[in-house]
Chains A and B, each alone.
Chain A
Amino acid sequence: MTRILLSALLVPAMLLSACGSVNTYRATAGDEPGKTRYQEQINDALTSIFLKAEAVRFARTPGGPYQVQVTVANDDFRYRRFAYQFEWLDANGMQVPSGSTWQTATIASGGTVVISSVAPNDTCETFQLQTRRSN
């Protein structure tokens, strides 16, 4: 009976984790003293899906709007696939339509990938990154 009970608890737990939960991170340009701070906090959103941020860059583009780039590394022994979405907020914290959507990225074992996003206009200085495990 105990085994049945344990199995009954384990199966739904596995199924629910397969449905996927989303990790969210938010940062504003100029609010934080350096790149390290971004990296540490983005790592919080990535470690739960067995990935890590190797570098985070946040700068204005030649066109004017901010661009954020995150180098994501896979230290695991197998391919990792994840979905992510960047969103941009204005000075009042209101979300600005940016046409952003969920994207996917695959990283080989030991490899890295750069995910990035450009703000929809010059006034957006805060971005929000959502990550979700896909495999």
Chain B
Amino acid sequence: MINLPNGLVLGTLLLVATGLAACKSGAKYVETGGTQSVVTVSQVDIQDIQMASSELLQSMLQTGVLRRSPTQPARLLINPIVNDTGSQFDVGELTYRMREQLVNSGQAQVITAYGKYTEDPAALEELRRRSFESGTQPDVEPDYTLSGKITELRRSAGSTRQATFTFRLTLTDPNTGLEVWTKVADVTKQGQKATVGF
């Protein structure tokens, strides 16, 4: 039997308590989409959207499809992306992440005032007014249109549930109606209940 000083034992127990507190605590800020995020099985989480948008964006950059556009930077018209999953979220979370990279790096321009796909009604109104006053047609035609769909496939075995969310995007050349780029990004999650971290 080794006699240990009480101070050492108390200090060790304090270290244990501190260590445990470091791993488990109350509300705190975490990196968005980081490895400490909440992971659910049957819902689309922020990290799923980030993973999918990153994969889709990298595919678009890798193929160089935007470099082959007749105008530089390429002009994109974005259709509303269809959310065909049981998870409620704004699909703009997906496209805006891609747009941020493409537009800010000068590789694409998104047309935000165009017919029924207008995101900025004030810009469209102003565009029409100026067009009327000058007697000319607006010269903003898309080089590509972006469309897409998000679907899910659920399966379970006993108490273990699995969900695959499929994010698919397509670029179409409106001059030909032909698809010039397409990519599918799958995110599959499995578990019995939501957890923290991955």
| Chain A residues with a Cβ under 8 A of chain B | 1-2, 4-5, 8-9, 11-13, 15-16, 18-20, 61-65, 67, 83, 97-104, 116-121, 132, 134
B140 interface residue, CB < 8 Å from A?
A: no
Bound complex: CA A134 to CA B1 (Å)? 40
Report the minimal beta-carbon distance from B7 to chain A, rounded to whole angstroms.
Answer: 13
- For the complex, count residues of B whose C-beta is within 8 A of A: 41
B150 interface residue, CB < 8 Å from A?
A: no
Most buried by A among B35, B53, B65, B104: B35
- Contact present for A2 and B54 (CB under 8 Å): no
Would you call the interface of chain B mostly helix, strand, loop, or mixed?
A: helix
Q: List 29 A-B contacts (CB under 8 A).
A: A1-B1, A2-B4, A4-B9, A8-B12, A8-B15, A11-B16, A11-B19, A12-B16, A16-B22, A19-B23, A63-B61, A64-B67, A83-B35, A97-B104, A98-B101, A99-B50, A99-B53, A99-B97, A101-B51, A101-B54, A102-B33, A102-B47, A103-B51, A104-B198, A117-B58, A118-B58, A118-B61, A120-B105, A121-B105
- Contact present for A62 and B33 (CB under 8 Å): no
